[in-house]
Chain A
Amino acid sequence: MLIKRAAANDCLPSEITPPEIFARRREFMQFSAAALASGALGALLPSAEAAEKLAGKPSPLSTPESPTPYKHVTGYNNFYEFGTDKEDPAANAHLLQTQPWSVSVEGLVKKPKTFDIDQLVKLAPLEERIYRLRCVEGWSMVIPWVGYSLAALLKQVEPTGSAKYVEFISAVQPENMVGVQRRVLDWPYVEGLRLDEAMHPLTLLTLGLYGEVLPKQNGAPVRITVPWKYGFKSAKSIVKIRLVEKQPLISWEKANPREYGFYSNVNPTVDHPRWSQARERRLGEFTKRETLMFNGYNEVASLYAGMDLRKYF
């Protein structure tokens, strides 16, 4: 097999137009012109939004590693609401209804508020953060996300002193999600972080990738990204964020508490009960890499000082 490695990047990954979209530029122009002329832009937007740009300022928190190609980032996904095979979300997620969309932030906060998606986009300056993503299954990618620290949102609602955890609840649209019709997991998908983890600057409220709004199979229109934890901790298509006192029971822990824990920090020394976590296959590479503690984000280590990470896996 030929291993394609990107040479030194001349331009930012976010500036690269995905070839699929580039190839359709005329179609898009004609379509937009026609839509404008007919004044029906609003009604036709959903099919045109694939190319909707969402730029972010480059962030010092980005990794210098080359991003995984767009087609893999958007074609190889775990999003069980749309099926359990990696190719299922790309095939089925187009049905997800993302307009209108709002996120209710509630629970132990002084100022509970429901944010419209447009409000969320404008809430803080957008940044491009190129993060490693390590899946619990043993593969990894590098993704140029667009968003801002979740802390910016949480600060607006002012968590009370008794708030200890943040719970993320994902959308359930039974008619639009083929995977929800089967009870593989208990829907809705629930994730959670300790408040200090949620407030960590690395934790990203994510609205886009590769310089465009989030594709539906990647968790449109808003998700979180927690780069030092296994991928399933980064909940997609979020509709509700609750600040709570007790540790939330997350979907995967509920499904199999022996294999999946609340913390799920990337940790090469704590194996999944059925497979090793010592190494990973970076998509596009032939040999496997050593998995790094906290996925290489050592700045989070202090969050877990004194904790037995074997017990709190």
Chain B
Amino acid sequence: MHRFIPALKVLLFLLCLAPLARLGWGFQQDTLGANPIEALTRGLGTWGLNFLLITLAVTPLRKLSGWHWLTRLRRMLGLYAFFYVLLHLTSYLWLDQFFVWQDIAKDILKRPFITVGMAAFVLLVPLAATSNNYAIRRLGGKKWTQLHRTVYPIGIMAVLHYTWLVKLDVTKPLLYGLTLAALLGFRVLWRYREKQKQLGGAYLRKPKGRIIPIVAKR
């Protein structure tokens, strides 16, 4: 499998650009409906959230399938999540607010859905900035992992951002919420199971074979 990874990465890279190409083409051809600017802003936001959830699905998928090479695609997926979120934010700042910073500041302070969306973006920036080998080496694996766990609250904030924006029918945000809950719930369950296994091994089960004492050589 491993020798296919570079080719797979190229393929995935292009595939991840497809939603952007579709939105851009639709905008250019005026096929995004009566309110193309809103369709563009929302489409970009939706894909930011989609990629966030896809990224969060990598670990559960890997653990369930045993396909460890999946991890090698995770960075690109995560960076695409950031890329779409960045474009989503840009379209809000530009096409919705036309860079009137005073209004934007007021919006961020006054509108909970914008506050939480902006906070999620701010938290996403360090994750994107440290998505490279140099940063991992620099931070050390443990610290890096801790930092990147921020993605869990970011996911929750993103779903809240979507839910609070909807006028009344929260079906779609609810579906996103359930997906996120499943992805985060899997991690909790998995961890619990691992702990049980370890505990079982250490204290509960009696070893069957002969015990060989291991003494470190000096």
Contact = CB atoms under 8 A, between A and B. Distances in A.
Contacts of B107: 276
B168 A84 contact: yes
Interface string B159-187: 00000110111010000000000000000
B36 interface: yes
B33 A87 contact: yes
B30 interface: yes
Contacts of A139: 35, 38
Interface stretch (A28-36, A44-52, A282-290): A282-290
Contacts of B96: 288
Contacts of A184: 168-169
A75 interface: yes
A52 B103 CA distance: 47
A137 interface: yes
A72 B34 contact: yes
B98 A287 contact: yes
A288 B164 CA distance: 22
B6 to A, nearest CB: 38
Contacts of A275: 111, 113
A240 interface: no
A283 B35 CA distance: 6
B23 to A, nearest CB: 12
B168 A75 contact: no
B105 to A, nearest CB: 13
Nearest to A232: B167
Contacts of A271: 110
A86 interface: yes
Contacts, number: 54
Contacts of B98: 287-288
Interface in B63-122: 95-96, 98, 103, 107, 110-113
A137 B167 contact: yes
Contact of B33 (A68, A75, A256): A75
B14 to A, nearest CB: 25
Contacts of A313: none
A185 interface: yes
A72 B36 CA distance: 11
Contacts of A72: 34
B16 interface: no
A274 B33 contact: no
Contacts of B144: none
Contact of A76 (B33, B165, B167): B33
Interface string A40-69: 000000000000000000000000000010
B58 interface: no
A255 interface: yes
Contacts of A94: none
A274 B112 contact: yes
A1 B35 contact: no
A148 to B, nearest CB: 28
A281 interface: yes
Contacts of B164: 274
Nearest to B96: A288
A2 interface: yes
Interface in A124-150: 136-137, 139
B73 to A, nearest CB: 33
B123 interface: no
B113 A274 contact: yes
Nearest to A141: B34
B88 to A, nearest CB: 16
A199 to B, nearest CB: 30
Contacts of B156: none
Contacts of B169: 80, 84, 184
Interface string A177-196: 00000001100000000000
A283 B32 CA distance: 12
Interface string A71-90: 11001100010001011000
Interface of B: 27-28, 30, 33-38, 95-96, 98, 103, 107, 110-113, 164-165, 167-169, 171
Interface of A: 1-2, 68, 71-72, 75-76, 80, 84, 86-87, 136-137, 139, 184-185, 255-256, 271, 274-276, 281, 283-284, 286-288
Given A76-B34, A274-B111, 9 more contacts: A68-B34, A76-B35, A80-B168, A84-B168, A84-B169, A86-B34, A274-B164, A281-B38, A286-B95
18 contacts: A1-B36, A68-B34, A72-B34, A76-B33, A80-B168, A84-B169, A87-B33, A136-B167, A185-B168, A255-B168, A274-B111, A274-B164, A276-B107, A276-B110, A276-B111, A281-B35, A281-B37, A286-B37
